[in-house]
């Protein structure tokens, strides 16, 4: 978007403020707001800020950084009463005004440059499937003397809010919520409002529906969106979901496993590569009509899968979702229409225009810039080194591996069992991420340290269930 176009929008909408958003290494959005009169200076020079205050970024001895806005991301924020323009920024060096090594958005921009430099493809498109829960309320506390949580949902009879007597009989139990129809799908209209806002933002939605979790688990899936813009779009989608929910007195969570023994929330990624307008993943006659390049790309993701989940599943809670029995893939292999596989080849995507694969392991606690960049780098490494999945027992398998014998399942490569194991895998296997200076040792070291602190904190806290197990021993 040109400066002139932005000026026209500001004049037409009488914009009063500009909200500058940027993503920290932890995957959270941060922001700083300026009066609209200061926008020209920000476009030219950026906004200085203290990078040492953002988790994982820098030490206090070198904290000065600047935010440089991307004019293509300019949009009117739909949630503020006063017209406010939103611009997404990259974190840049105060002297060079180039994206710093540890800025996740700059990682995605470098990944795109690397893709083009390889000559393998000139575009990649992605479909994210965002799963999340909408709760009426959630209360949680964790301190030295008090620890626990309470979740309330008007859709589940066992979790009704105190004031909800379910006099209309809409709350359900003892069933799955997948594609549950209205009026039992109580928040359909709110979900549709979320989708309308995404469409207004330019994010094309393929469909949305109630997911398996009966306590109001939702899914919104987009059409194919282009990398690296898709990374910005995922941040925008999460923001729209959360803020729309709050406007109705609800709360949205992307936690992979917010409720014990209930369906977890993932974020599946569909991936496709293009060159000169052609889908290079399609080749008639191969396994599932996949090209050799596609098989190698899949091989790269699976071969590096144990380190890759450090970015696609970066929370301690991620590994409470990745358990057998909940359609959550815990073994690294691929197969046609196989929902027990880490990579599923959709049977319905069977034309030269639609052939793609779906990486099913990830979840929305990830930093989308880092997660999708890492997946792209792993796949390109697979093509570069012609990694054949079959050579490493990574598939294809078309049967349900959960029904295999324990001995046979043990021969498959498994994802890490917890966040610490994922970080150890990343420490041992990250050379593929360093190609083209996309990732770097400084970022990876800071990221591992950040995530190990989270792991240690969760391990060290006393768990409420431990009182049930051990208090009276």
Active-site residue set? 50, 129, 131, 211, 219, 268, 339, 358, 360
* Residue 200 CB neighbours (<10 A): 12
Does an H or E element contain 111, and which?
Answer: helix 104-118
Buried b (16+ CB within 10 A) or exposed e, 300-319: bbbbbbbbbbbbbbbbbbbb
For 434, the token pair is 């360093």
In whole angstroms, give the CA distance from residue 25 to residue 103. Answer: 7
Residues 6 or more apart whose Cβ sits within 8 Å of residue 453? none
Q: Please name which of 256, 261, 446 lies closest in space to residue 366, comparing C-alpha atoms.
A: 256
Residue 24 CB partners (closer than 8 Å, separation 6+): 30, 54, 55, 56, 57, 104
First to last CA, the chain: 67
Peptide bond into 396 cis (omega under 30): yes
CA distance 119 to 227: 16
Give dist(CA 251, CA 237) in Å, integer.
15
Q: Strands (DSSP E) along 10-146, which ranges?
A: 17-23, 29-35, 47-50, 64-69, 75-76, 84-93, 123-135, 137-142
CA distances to 293, 354, 356 from 274, in Å? 11, 11, 11
Nearest to 360 by CA among 110, 121, 70, 128: 128
Cβ within 8 Å of residue 363, ≥6 positions away: 254, 256, 264, 265, 266, 267, 312, 313, 315, 318, 321
Instruction: Kindly report the number of other CB atoms within 10 A of residue 247's CB atom.
Output: 11
Rounded CA gap, 72 and 465, in Å? Answer: 49
Yes or no: say if 392 and 302 are a contact pair by the CB < 8 Å rule: yes
Q: How many CB atoms lie within 10 A of CB 409?
A: 15
**Strand pairing of 84-93 and 17-23?**
parallel
In contact, 115 and 380? CB cutoff 8 Å: yes
DSSP letters, 299-344, are: HHHHHTHHHHHHHHS-STTHHHHS-TTTT---B--EEET-TTSSEE
């Amino acid at each position: 978007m040109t400066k002139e176009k932005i000026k026209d929008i500001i004049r037409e909408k009488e914009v009063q403020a500009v909200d500058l958003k940027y993503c920290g290494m932890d995957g959270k959005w941060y922001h700083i707001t300026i009066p609209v009169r200061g926008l020209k200076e920000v476009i030219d020079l950026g906004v200085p800020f203290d990078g040492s205050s953002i988790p994982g970024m820098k030490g206090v001895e070198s904290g000065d950084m600047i935010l440089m806005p991307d004019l293509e991301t300019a949009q009117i924020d739909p949630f503020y009463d006063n017209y406010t323009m939103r611009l997404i920024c990259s974190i840049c060096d105060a002297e060079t005004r180039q994206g710093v090594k540890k800025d996740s958005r700059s990682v995605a921009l470098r990944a795109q440059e690397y893709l083009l430099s390889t000559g393998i493809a000139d575009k990649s498109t992605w479909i994210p499937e965002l799963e999340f829960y909408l709760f009426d309320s959630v209360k949680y506390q964790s301190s030295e003397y008090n620890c626990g949580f309470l979740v309330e949902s008007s859709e589940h009879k066992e979790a009704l809010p105190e004031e909800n007597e379910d006099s209309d009989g809409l709350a359900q139990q003892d069933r799955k919520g997948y594609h549950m129809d209205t009026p039992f799908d109580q928040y359909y209209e709110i979900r549709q409002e979320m989708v309308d806002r995404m469409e207004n933002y330019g994010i094309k939605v393929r469909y949305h529906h109630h997911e398996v979790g009966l306590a109001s688990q939702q899914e919104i899936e987009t059409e194919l969106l282009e990398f690296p813009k898709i990374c910005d779009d995922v941040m925008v989608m999460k923001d729209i979901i959360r803020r729309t929910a709050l406007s109705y007195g609800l709360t949205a969570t992307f936690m992979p496993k917010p409720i014990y023994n209930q369906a977890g929330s993932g974020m599946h990624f569909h991936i496709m590569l293009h060159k000169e307008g052609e889908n290079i993943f399609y080749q008639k006659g191969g396994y599932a009509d996949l090209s050799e390049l596609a098989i190698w790309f899949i091989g790269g993701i699976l071969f590096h899968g144990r380190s890759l989940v450090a970015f696609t599943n970066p929370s301690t809670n991620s590994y409470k979702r990745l358990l057998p029995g909940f359609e959550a893939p815990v073994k690294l292999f691929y197969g046609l229409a196989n929902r027990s596989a880490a990579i599923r080849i959709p049977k319905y995507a069977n034309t030269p225009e639609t052939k793609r694969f779906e990486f099913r392991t990830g979840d929305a606690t990830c930093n989308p810039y880092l997660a999708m960049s890492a997946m792209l780098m792993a796949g390109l490494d697979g093509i570069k080194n012609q990694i054949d999945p079959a050579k490493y027992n990574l598939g294809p398998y078309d049967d349900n591996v959960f029904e295999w014998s324990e001995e046979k399942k043990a021969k498959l490569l498994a994802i890490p069992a917890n966040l610490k194991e994922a970080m150890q895998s990343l420490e041992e296997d990250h050379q593929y991420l360093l190609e083209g200076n996309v990732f770097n040792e400084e970022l990876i070291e800071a990221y591992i340290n950040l995530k190990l602190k989270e792991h240690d904190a969760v391990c060290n806290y006393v768990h409420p269930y431990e009182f049930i197990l051990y208090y009276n021993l």
